[in-house]
Amino acid sequence: MASHTMRNYARYPRQKYRLPSPRTKTGCFECRRYRKKCDEHRPICSRCISRRIDCHWPDSGPAEEPASQVSSTSDRVQKHISIQSAPPSPPSLARPCPVSWGSWDGWSSLGIMKADLTSHSPAFMDQYVRETSNLLVTVSTKENPFITHLLPVAANDELILHSILTLGGAHLDSKHTSAPTRLCVRKHYGRFIHLLREAINHFSPDPAKSLIIALSLLMLCMIEAFGSIPEAGAISHIRACQKVVPLLLHTPSDSTAHGALLGVALEFYTFISLIISATPYANSTDMEPDTRSPSFIPSRHILERFRTFGVITARIFPLIELIPRVISLCQRRQADSASNECLRANWTEFHEIIRCIGSFENQPQMLPSNLCHLEPQDVQVGKLYVHALTIFTYDAMWGNALADSSALVAVVHQHAIAALDLLPCLLPTRMASILLWPIAIIGSCLISDQDRDRFRKALQGEVQCIPLVQKLQDILYTLWEKGTTPYYGPSGLQKILLTERLTLYLS
């Protein structure tokens, strides 16, 4: 009897250290297949994340496969990402639905690259195709190079693919926040950063590779506008682009597609470099120059060589190319303040810039090559930038003294109200993608509660879901709470950023 008891005791010992959670048979298919403990964290368990494979569940994935059959990445892509055409439908975070991928048929080649896709990848791509890509340009979807030219590249380049999926996922998460979606976004983001570091570490002056790196850095700027990424990253990415752009300027386009993407990358870089700050004060450091320095900005005659010119900047390029002159004027005026005088040359430059801004509407119309006429929003966005750039120039000239002069405040206020009147009709249009810079300038110049309420109401809607817009609003609310003097205009915005130790880089 005793020996029998001892045999049982030896055969079935008491467990000294119990598992942190009870064993279960409801884990993902991958963990069941290998008989491993699954933490059941959906949509991707920790084990599948560490093994960098898709995580399949009974209620969201296919039927359980035999344990002896280990499917390849290409098999999973073909089974879990539909490439059949279907009408777009709102993505379901629990079970992504098949979507229409238009002319892009690159999913079939992703297995060759062993891309780390998730069950949410189709929803992220759908979000990018239907909405996110339209926030990058001012033209229609049919003429959008981020769809017509960038998607085919994603079919053969994993770095571009994950940049697109991360951007679309970050945008989707900003609208419908959920832990599973954010987890998938971070997975794509981590893979994207890993591939980008590899590309930079193995950098070569090859034109195609340089273009891919530049596009990835620019996409990273947009990802940060939609996601909870560490502060002050956008300006670092633009400064990294400064190292690549000189190579792009001297590389011939060997194909129509390459030329289109090259033109878009240069225009995108130029636009973000110029509007990244809503104040005329230098964003340079001891080691890095101002991103708006003329030596780092491609000239208009270079950008005009590409047939895609204007898909981002519409007809406002003659205005934003004046920003480096305004920055230079601001720096010289700061030197004047040290000697308590204003040089005649600075007065002349100020009046010349104001004259150039005022003559904008009489200049030849600049349109993308695929557009033949101006639409109402094309005219209105030009007027909006006229008012914003005028305020920007006045602030560069007068700085903190602007708020002390009732005459100057009256001029600035007139432009701010005229610009505020244009916002409600522009924000719902395709021009919303280029409005953040004037919005920041206008908001810093509003004094009355009535005007501020109009400003808040204008920003209600889709644009308010973007984290960068929310951050801008919070900073403006802090500015308004401080009062008028000296917290007024772009110089007041700069003062708030310094005193509150905040950063605001627009992209």
User: Using one digit for the tens of pLDDT, what is the confidence trace for 396-419?
Assistant: 999 888 888 899 999 999 999 999
Residues sharing a CB contact under 8 Å with residue 153, sequence separation 6 or more, in sequence order? 160, 212, 257, 261
- Is residue 414 a contact partner of residue 446, using CB atoms and an 8 Å limit? no
> In the prediction, which pLDDT does 31 show?
84
- Would you list the domain boundaries of the chain? 120-314, 316-364+375-506
- Mean confidence (pLDDT) of the chain: 80
Rounded CA separation 144/134 (Å):
7
What sign for the dihedral angle of Cα 148, 154, 160, 162? positive
Is the pLDDT at 252 greater than 80? The verdict is no
What are the pLDDT digits (tens) for 253-270? 656 668 889 999 999 999
The CA-atom distances, in angstroms, between 133 and each of 130, 145, 169, 419, 433 are 7, 9, 12, 26, 10
Residue 128 phi, psi (nearest 5): -65, -45
Rounded CA separation 215/261 (Å):
8
Is the pLDDT at 377 greater than 70? The verdict is yes
Burial (CB count within 10 angstroms: exposed 0-12, middle 13-18, buried 19+), residue 254: exposed
The CA-atom distances, in angstroms, between 314 and each of 71, 310, 339, 382 are 48, 5, 41, 9
Give me 61's structure tokens. Answer: 């994935």
The residue length of the chain stands at: 507
CB atoms within 10 A of CB 412: 25
Rounded CA separation 495/504 (Å):
12
Q: What's 180-238 look like in SS3?
A: HHHHHHHHHHHHHHHHHHHHHHCCCCCHHHHHHHHHHHHHHHHHHHHCCCCCCHHHHHH
Q: How far apart are the first and last CA of the chain?
A: 80
Is the pLDDT at 493 greater than 70? The verdict is yes
> In the prediction, which pLDDT does 472 show?
92
Region label for 90, one of left (φ > 0), alpha (ψ between -120 and 50) or beta (otherwise): beta
> In the prediction, which pLDDT does 53 show?
72
For residues 79-108, give the mean pLDDT: 36
Q: Is the link from the previous residue into 486 a cis peptide, with omega within 30 of 0?
A: yes
User: Which residue would you say has higher pLDDT here, 393 or 1?
Assistant: 393
Rounded CA separation 482/492 (Å):
10
CB atoms within 10 A of CB 449: 9
Residues sharing a CB contact under 8 Å with residue 256, sequence separation 6 or more, in sequence order? none
Is the pLDDT at 108 greater than 60? The verdict is no
Among the residue ranges 21-25, 84-88, 319-323, 338-342, the one predicted with the least confidence is 84-88
Rounded CA separation 185/182 (Å):
5
Q: Which residues of 319-347 are buried (b: 16+ CB within 10 A; e: fewer)?
A: bbbbbbbbbbbbbbbeeeeeeeeeeeebe
Residue 387 phi, psi (nearest 5): -65, -45
Burial (CB count within 10 angstroms: exposed 0-12, middle 13-18, buried 19+), residue 79: middle
Local confidence band at 374 (pLDDT 50, 70, 90 cut-offs): confident
Residues sharing a CB contact under 8 Å with residue 233, sequence separation 6 or more, in sequence order? 220, 221, 224
For residue 61, give the nearest of 121, 111, 119, 115 by alpha carbon.
Answer: 119
For residue 292, give the nearest of 282, 304, 300, 301 by alpha carbon.
Answer: 282
Is the pLDDT at 59 greater than 90? The verdict is no
Residue 61 phi, psi (nearest 5): -115, -170
What are the pLDDT digits (tens) for 333-351? 888 776 667 788 899 999 9
> In the prediction, which pLDDT does 75 show?
36
